[in-house]
């Protein structure tokens, strides 16, 4: 039996993970769970999965959960705050950790698990965007294992030779072809994008996801964050990462080799496939996902990305080229912009403008330690909020 910690258990990836785990009670045991403030959701998960430890992001939610669990579930320890999230991440009985908190809030608990040398099932792409170099250095130093959950990166991992860590040139890889659905606004003109609503932005054509990543998919910042994620996971310079718009989301990404071969991973768009892959790797287990019906799909289309309608993608390429703290600043400004859009405080097309403004205000910022990165993340959020207050 392998113990598993699920960080961000009440979210879209967290619930898909628990669904896969519940299919294999002989193989896996849920040891610890975390959530932000969803007390009712966490109480339900406690009844179902009987973890040893759960952590809520704040004291009030933890107290409410303790009251909720008083009675038959008193044996479950409830912790709170940063220390609680970290305790859930480093639980000694959980060698596997699903990192599925959304945003930069996932960085510290995920890093804590890395430093314990765990197998990290990495959904929280923002960790790598904020602190890629530091994160990957810690993975090597502590002999941790990172298995990508993001469907594209999981597909790339499956299409790479096993020894890709030797360097892409040595193993004959020419390019990574990172597929993108294009999101719900793939066919909208710039003029039509002026008035889109949060509800439209969150109605993704192929994937059912949390609200933040849904908006990121609509702006294509999600693909930008994924370029940065791929840069670190596969040690690939950005010029070797080609975004390919593929509206059917059947090919989850590809790897092109120097001999002209292109290897791809295909499947239905359901996150339980990459989750099951990373849990069982190098073996395979059932995920609950139906087989691919190629006759029903019939056709696969490909398009070049449009940087004019989706400037967030360009901003992300620029940030990763610039290096240093630029990706962390990009990410922080994006988190503020997306939250403001979801609250009706910022029009959709202003999201890239706000991010660009913050990036311009913090040029050439170097950072090689965690404290500096976190301070710059906070400064970028402050500048973004200030711009919002001034009407961008
Ligand atoms: P979600 O919003 O559905 O869930 C987020 C989880 O994180 C919830 O459990 C929430 O309680 C918790 N959380 C939120 N803010 C927190 C905070 N400040 N402190 C502690 N916990 C907090 O998000 P999701 O769609 O499941 O995405 C999770 C991560 O996985 C994101 O980084 C996303 O980019 C990545 N991802 C998601 C999908 C998908 O299909 N949903 C696909 C690929 C990658
Ligand atoms: Mg993805």
For residues 15, 18, 22 and 24, what is the CA-based torsion angle, rounded to 10 degrees? 130
pLDDT confidence band for 274 (50 / 70 / 90): very high
In percent, how much of the chain has pLDDT > 70? 100
pLDDT at 74: 86
**Which residue from 101, 120, 125 has its CB within 8 A of the most atoms of ligand 1, so it is best to mutate?**
101
pLDDT reported for residue 392? 59
pTM exceeds cut of 0.95 = yes
Query: Is the per-residue pLDDT at 391 higher than 80?
Result: no
Cβ-in-10-Å burial (0-12, 13-18, 19+) of 355 comes to buried
Cα(4)–Cα(247) distance, integer angstroms: 34
pLDDT at 140 over 70: yes
Interval 171-228: pLDDT, tens: 999 999 999 999 999 999 999 999 999 999 999 888 889 999 999 999 999 999 999 9
Q: In the CATH hierarchy, which top-level class contains the domain 2-148? A: alpha beta
* pLDDT at 63 > cutoff 70: yes
Counting from 1 in the atom list of ligand 1, the atom nearest the Cα of 212 is: 2
Residue showing tokens 């003029």: 191
User: What digits encode the pLDDT tens for the residues 219-265?
Assistant: 999 999 999 999 999 999 999 999 999 999 999 999 999 999 999 99
Mean predicted lDDT score pLDDT of the chain: 97
Provide the residue ranges of all domains of the chain, joining segments of one domain with +.
2-148, 165-268+281-297, 323-389
Instruction: For ligand 1, pick from 17, 65, 100 the residue to mutate: most ligand atoms within 8 Å of CB.
Output: 100
Tell me whether domains 2-148 and 323-389 share a fold.
no
> Ligand 1 centroid vs 106 CA: distance in angstroms?
9
What pLDDT, on the 0 to 100 scale, is given for residue 281? 98
Position 363 scores a pLDDT of: 87
Decide if pLDDT at 297 tops 70. Answer: yes
- 38 has pLDDT over 70: yes
Q: Which fold has domain 323-389?
A: Rna Polymerase Sigma Factor; Chain: A (1.10.1740)
Bridging pattern class, strands 28-35 and 2-7 = parallel
Long-range contacts of 82-86 (CB under 8 A, 24+ apart): 82/108, 82/109, 84/34, 84/55, 84/56, 85/7, 85/34, 85/55, 85/57, 85/109, 86/112
pLDDT at residue 368, rounded to an integer: 82
* 8 Cα to the center of ligand 1, angstroms: 6
């Amino acid at each position: 039996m392998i113990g598993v910690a699920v960080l961000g258990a009440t979210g879209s990836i967290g619930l898909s993970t628990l669904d896969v785990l519940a299919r294999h009670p002989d193989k896996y045991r849920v040891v610890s769970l975390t959530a932000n403030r969803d007390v009712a959701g966490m109480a339900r998960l406690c009844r179902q999965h009987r973890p040893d430890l759960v952590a809520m992001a704040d004291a009030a939610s933890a107290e409410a959960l303790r009251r909720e669990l008083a009675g038959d579930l008193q044996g479950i320890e409830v912790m709170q705050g940063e220390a609680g999230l970290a305790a859930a991440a480093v639980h000694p009985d959980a060698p596997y950790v699903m990192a599925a908190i959304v945003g930069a809030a996932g960085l510290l608990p995920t890093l804590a698990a890395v430093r314990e040398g765990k197998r990290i099932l990495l959904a929280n792409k923002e960790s790598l965007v904020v602190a890629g170099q530091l994160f990957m250095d810690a993975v090597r130093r502590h002999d941790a294992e990172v298995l990508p959950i993001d469907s594209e990166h999981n597909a790339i991992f499956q299409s790479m030779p096993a020894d890709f860590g030797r360097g892409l040139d040595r193993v004959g890889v020419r390019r990574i072809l990172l597929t993108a659905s294009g999101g719900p606004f793939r066919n909208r003109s710039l003029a039509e994008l002026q008035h889109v609503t949060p509800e439209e932005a969150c109605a993704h054509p192929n994937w059912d996801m949390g609200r933040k990543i849904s908006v990121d998919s609509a702006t294509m910042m999600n693909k930008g964050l994924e370029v940065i994620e791929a840069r670190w996971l596969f040690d690939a310079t950005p010029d070797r990462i080609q975004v390919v718009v593929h509206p059917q989301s059947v090919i989850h990404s590809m790897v092109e080799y120097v001999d002209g071969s292109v290897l791809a991973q295909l499947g239905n768009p359901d996150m339980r496939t990459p989750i099951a892959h990373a849990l069982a790797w190098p073996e395979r287990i059932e995920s609950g996902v139906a087989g691919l019906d190629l006759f029903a799909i019939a056709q696969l289309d490909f398009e070049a990305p449009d940087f004019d309608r989706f400037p967030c993608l360009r901003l992300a390429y620029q940030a990763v080229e610039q290096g240093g703290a630029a990706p962390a600043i990009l990410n922080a400004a994006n988190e503020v912009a997306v939250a403001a859009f979801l609250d009706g405080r910022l029009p959709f097309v202003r999201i890239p403008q706000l991010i660009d403004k913050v990036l311009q205000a913090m040029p050439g910022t170097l950072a090689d330690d965690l404290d500096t990165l976190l301070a710059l993340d906070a400064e970028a959020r402050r500048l973004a909020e200030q711009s919002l207050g001034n009407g961008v």
